[in-house]
Chains A and B, each alone.
Chain A
Amino acid sequence: MKIFGVKLPMMASLVIWAIVWELIGRLDLSILLPPLSHILIRMVEIIPTATFLKAFWITAKCFLIGSTIAVVAGIPIGVLMGRSIIADRMLLPWVNMFLSAPLTALVPVLMTLFGFGEQTIILTTLLFAIWIIVLDARAGVKGISQSLVEMAHSYGANGWQAFTKIYVWAAMPEILAGIRLGFIRAIKGVIIGQLLVSIVGFGRLFELYSSNFLMEHMWALLLVLFFFAFLIAEGMGRIERKFSYYAASR
């Protein structure tokens, strides 16, 4: 976008909104909305603390483990569903149900089964992320041109070779879109899991800040999380665009 002949960077509107926030914050309208500058100062203050770093580490760990399992299990399941009608009939109702189900309601069940620790959070992350990865991989594989499948078959590919050398690659644009959406959902899952468990990681911090009306801390934490969620989504988007060149030519 250009204004008065000056080319504005992509995120220029954020600057305007930051200024609006700062001004409204300074009007002291509500304890819920402190000025942005105070929040940023608070952010610099809390990030190096051991509590924050520990919470961040737990979150990152649960996110990585949960979403890795979701990817490693979700892609083969999706490919299998795309290739086998029986597997598709067996699994599709479940996948669709879990995709739209309010998974948050399941977390208390997970807590009673797996306790108030990282296991529950990892499982929540996994449950949030996996279904869209399965569905997208399935859609990608269903869209593979029949002649590519026949090509692999006629040149002697066995099942494993067809999976690793053809199906996964031919479905790659959809698989990557699935992973991106899965990661976004995994972020929700890892935070919601912690909020409900509320004695580990950021969940404990949120509990602490909100019960003491520490709004600047609260916002600082939220902004950090928003930032990382944005980074992950944007990073995946970049990888996805690298593969889009052949999405049209399959």
Chain B
Amino acid sequence: MSTHTESISESTAPAAVAVENVSKIYPGGVEALSNMTLQFPKGELTSVLGPSGCGKTTLLKIIAGLLPANSGTVKVNGQPVTGPGPERAFVFQDFALMPWATVIRNVAFGLELRGVAKSERTAIADKQIENVGLKGFENHYPHQLSGGMRQRVGLARALAVDAEILLMDEPFSAVDEQTRRKFQEDLLGVVQVEKKTFIFVTHSIEEAVYLSDSIALLLPRPSRVSEIIKPDIRRDIDPDAIRRDPVYLDTVERIWQGLRRYIE
């Protein structure tokens, strides 16, 4: 077996985010998370993978400080989370761009809120726009861009605030397949350059295996972490070759076999 499973506590890197016994019950009695414990190692990309209804987006929003948990704590670098903070940046499933603002203002928005001077934030935004491959579109409006380009703006905005933890909520699910593949390849590049902690929520097995250092597999009803999978894929090969790598294909197949009984 070329992949291996290990218990959470044996994780080698120190945890950037630690979720401890978190439960979330929505008004109306829907139990989205039940006593969940999970750690996200520093400097790695961890995917939270699971079928719809397993509470993965809820978990991400609790980590972001956008939703309060009913019980349990989330710790970021050892500090309990009480709300959003500058060390975390969120990338939204539906992009959440301001349609009345240009690309550059959208990218610089986090800095604008922090009161960074205009010249400085424009310079940072310019750099991040180039970083995500949108150079030349600085003064376009979101409605003039394709879905994939809009999400690049969302990613650039998250990178511009230089948070150490990036929370990505199914960022490619509203993007067409071809664009998604290209975007995934580019994201691998960004992950390697930025040395940040990425928490990536997805329902796509292929996407999780392709991108992740480790995958937390969530199962629904009751919502729980079923296992942590570390795909042992060499990242120094050609991004396209990964998709033909036997380890990649085996891991995808193994996760699917584990999940399929919950789908039927």
Contacts and interface: CB of A to CB of B under 8 A. Distances in A.
Interface of A: 145, 147-148, 150-157, 161, 165-166, 169-170, 172, 243, 245-246, 249-250
B143 A249 contact: yes
A249 B100 CA distance: 10
Q: Please name the 3 residue pairs, one residue from A and one from B, whose CB atoms are nearest each other, closest first.
A: A246-B99, A151-B96, A147-B96
A155 B109 contact: yes
Contact of A156 (B61, B66, B86, B93): B86
Given A145-B94, A161-B113, A245-B143, A153 B66 contact: yes
Contact of A169 (B88, B93, B98, B141): B98
Interface in B76-91: 84-86, 88-90
A176 to B, nearest CB: 12
Contact of B92 (A147, A161, A170, A245): A147
Task: Summarize B's interface: helix, strand, loop or mixed.
Answer: loop
Contacts of A157: 113
B148 interface: no
A64 to B, nearest CB: 27
A148 B93 contact: no
Interface of B: 61, 64-66, 84-86, 88-90, 92-96, 98-100, 109-110, 112-114, 141-143, 157, 161
B99 A155 contact: no
A249 B142 contact: yes
Contact of B98 (A148, A150, A154, A243): A148
Nearest to B66: A150
Contact of A250 (B85, B90, B99, B113): B99
25 contacts: A145-B94, A147-B93, A147-B94, A147-B96, A148-B96, A148-B98, A150-B61, A150-B66, A150-B90, A150-B92, A152-B113, A153-B66, A153-B84, A154-B84, A155-B84, A155-B109, A155-B113, A155-B157, A155-B161, A161-B113, A169-B100, A243-B100, A246-B100, A249-B142, A249-B143
A170 B95 CA distance: 15
B96 A150 contact: yes
A154 B157 CA distance: 12
A78 to B, nearest CB: 18
B100 A172 contact: yes
Contacts of A243: 100
Contacts of A145: 94, 96
A146 B112 CA distance: 21
A245 B95 CA distance: 18
Nearest to B61: A150
Contacts of A148: 96, 98
Contacts of B157: 155
Most chain A Cβ neighbours within 10 Å, of B95, B98, B112, B157: B98
